[in-house]
Amino acid sequence: MIRIAVQAKGRLSDESMQLLSESGLLIEEGKRKLLAKCGDFPMEVLFLRDDDIPGAVEMGVADIGIVGLNEVEERGLSIDIAHYLGFSKCRISLAIPKTSEYSGLDYFNGKRVATSYPAILSNYFLEKGIKAEIHKIAGSVEVAPSVGMADAIFVIVSSGGTLITNGLKEVEKVFFSEAVLVSNRSLDQQKRAEVNQLIARFEAVERSRGMKYMLLNLPEEKIEDAIVILPGMRSPTVLPLAQKGWCSMHVVVEEKDIWSKIEKLKSIGAEGILVLSLDKILP
């Protein structure tokens, strides 16, 4: 049995639990405790603070964990990134008071910068040849300039609304993050096999995102025209109908292309077009 560490609350927690649910891994959230078992997969879920997850995985308290890439980078621990999950995307940026003039990175030379991510910022400044004082604080980073604690900040940005509220402006996008699945480096063969099974489920869910299943009827002589419009994952499935001279075509298409393809299909005589949601796509 493998143990996965998941953030106990917050956006990353919600999106992680949604992925587990869509992957057929059901945990009773109403009865969530520190540790919960999964119903039909050899796995249990350990709920932790996000910044505790990389350390728990390195120590072997958890075999794997879902955490932000920023937390992995900041701590620099001996763990592996097993899979990029593509959700909870954000960036860590440098921001300064909106009234300040900014002409480039030289602005930060000799400045004090407040952040919860001193390692990432230190590496960035070192790479760029910037000599600044980095002041580590645990929370409320955005208020640091207004109370005289710092000249600038290095902080997680999603929409930028919090920066505006605190009279700040984003000037440098330094690090881009998303949720990742991290793994302990000493897993035995059995646990590695279970982790691979889990990743296969995640990938099946990920492939279905932004995709739709389309079914339609059309005259047999229009099959080649329809294939040009709907190439499919490999090629469309074509089945004969009871009505002579007609067939049914089944194909997976990207949701963003649905309406343009529907118009083209109708122009060659397609009828009875159905568009259905997809839950999983396996290779």
Which residues, in sequence order, are CB contacts of 237 under 8 Å at separation 6+? Answer: 249, 250, 251
* Distance between CA atoms of residues 37 and 46, nearest Å: 9
Fold of 210-277: Alpha-Beta Plaits (3.30.70)
Domain-wise residue ranges, the chain: 2-87+178-207, 90-177, 210-277
pLDDT of residue 232: 64
Burial class (CB in 10 A: 0-12, 13-18, 19+), 282: exposed
Strand 133-136 and strand 112-115: the pairing is parallel
Query: How does pLDDT run across 199-237, given as a tens digit for each residue?
Result: 999 999 999 988 999 999 999 999 999 999 987 667 789
Class of domain 90-177: alpha beta
169 near 43, Cβ under 8 Å? no
| 17: number of Cβ within 10 Å | 20
* Distance between CA atoms of residues 107 and 249, nearest Å: 61
Query: Would the CATH topology of 2-87+178-207 be identical to that of 90-177?
Result: yes
Fold of 2-87+178-207: D-Maltodextrin-Binding Protein; domain 2 (3.40.190)
pLDDT of residue 30: 54
Query: How does pLDDT run across 84-104, given as a tens digit for each residue?
Result: 999 999 999 999 999 999 999
